[in-house]
Amino acid sequence: MRSSPIRDVKDRQREDSAAMAAGASITRVYEPIGQELLQVQENVRSAVRAEDPAVDEIVGRVFRAPGKLLRPALTIFAGRAAMTDKTAPTPNALIQLATAVELIHNASLVHDDILDGASFRREIPTLNTPHNTHVAVLAGDVIFTQAFFLMTRHLKPDTIEPLTRVTAGMCHAEIMNEVHGNRRMDFATYLQIIKLKTAALMS
């Protein structure tokens, strides 16, 4: 049975209202670290900026529609909670760590879109839509590399090591997912994939 156009409009209106409410809620949550998140976004733009206009446009497109910034926000909140002097300014190393986390997350999304054949993300075309997959893969690699550059420049080795392990785990999970393909996988394998692919970076 075909759906009613009126019902479709009402459904979209409800979805839009829910999205706006969620956006307003998360904005309130982010208020205590608003300036830090603005700095993270500026750092991200600076990190992916390229001298060649074509490369700059392609890589920069990934961040044209910013996401929810959930991972860098959690990074900053956790770092602030661990500080003994709650009134002290947020250390630059913590901002750089949050920036690296956001870069790693977005690089993984670029590669996810290629593997999934996705055409849109955050309501704009994915890199693999206007360009071929070779260009999209390389753009994702550029973003990964910039994340590691920031880490080696600003962070201590004991901070870098767990992040590199997490990043490798995300890649391992994608390979596992591709190997299993449409075949039925056991529950333990499923849990391992979602742990490596998503949960590890969040933790």
> CA 138 → CA 111, 115, 167, distances in Å?
9, 14, 17
Summarised one tens digit per residue, pLDDT across range 43-93 is 999 999 999 999 999 999 899 887 899 999 999 999 999 999 988 999 999
How long, in residues, is the chain? Answer: 203
How far does CA 32 lie from the centroid of its chain?
Answer: 21
The yes-or-no verdict on residue 137 having pLDDT over 80 is yes
- CA angle (33, 71, 90) in 5-degree steps: 35
CA gyration radius, the chain:
19
Summarised one tens digit per residue, pLDDT across range 155-166 is 999 999 999 999
Banded model confidence at residue 23, pLDDT cuts 50, 70, 90: low
The yes-or-no verdict on residue 20 having pLDDT over 50 is no
The pLDDT value recorded for residue 132 is 83
HEC sequence for the chain = CCCCHHHHHHHHHHHHHHHHHHHHHHHHHHHHHHHHHHHHHHHHHHHHCCCCHHHHHHHHHCCCCCCCCHHHHHHHHHHHHHCCCCCCCCCHHHHHHHHHHHHHHHHHHHHHHHHHCCCEECCEECCCCCCCHHHHHHHHHHHHHHHHHHHHHHCCHHHHHHHHHHHHHHHHHHHHHHHHCCCCCCHHHHHHHHHHHHHHHHC
**Cα–Cα dist 152/156, whole Å:** 8
The yes-or-no verdict on residue 1 having pLDDT over 80 is no
Average pLDDT (3-26) is: 53
Q: What average pLDDT is seen over the chain?
A: 87
- CA angle (99, 31, 49) in 5-degree steps: 25
The pLDDT value recorded for residue 189 is 92
The yes-or-no verdict on residue 2 having pLDDT over 70 is no
Cβ–Cβ < 8 Å for 154, 47: no
Cβ–Cβ < 8 Å for 90, 79: yes
